[in-house]
Structure 1
Amino acid sequence: MATGEDLRRMALSLEGTTEAPHFDRMAFKVARIYVTLAADERTANFKFTPDEQQFKCMMLPDAFSPVPNAWGRQGWTTADLARLGAEDLENALRTAVAHAQPRKPLRR
């Protein structure tokens, strides 16, 4: 059973991650936001690709669900932290942070 503190600790241990307010949530980002934590620290929204989202929701349907709007169609996925183990949370964070890395400059 994961908690908001677990998410915060694990996210901030990932290289380059910072934490800052984002509307009514806390956001964790490198170059871009990859996860947000609800104010009550019970749920988090992760940035996955649509394929990753589908896989997570299939494998752990009690824990993961698409955000119910256009953000969800882009891969943003809500997790009920209490339904995640530490390994599942760490895997979700590592998957999401991969999408938040700085983009490489174009070669000329």
Structure 2
Amino acid sequence: FPIHCKIGDLIMCIGELRWIDNDVSAAADIPTALAKACNDASSIGYLQARIARNKNGLDVHLQHRALLLKREYLMERRQSAIAACNDDVEMVADRDDVDDEKLSAQKETNTE
């Protein structure tokens, strides 16, 4: 698919880097080609991209920091949800202890 860019442009691609032998018969069978060492001169690398965008003017460091902050926020949110669940479990356990005490007291009064 065409990407509008010029030499030196920053392009973000999401996909897979694949390697094929530098051989016509192997090139015809691209889907079965597996990754090889990048410094292998007898192979050709190509990008099987699902998404490609021109990212000129994008501050990649800013995007990376935003991703780290999002991950941190999601981790804090997950930990607070786990803590809330643990509090609920403790509350139920405490209530069960009280119920057990009431039940044992009731059994004692019934046996007397």
Give TM class, smaller chain: under 0.3
Q: Which has the larger radius of gyration?
A: 2
Query: What is the TM-score with the length of structure 1 in the denominator?
Result: 0.25
Query: What is the TM-score with the length of structure 2 in the denominator?
Result: 0.24
- Larger strand proportion of the pair: 1
- Larger helix proportion of the pair: 2
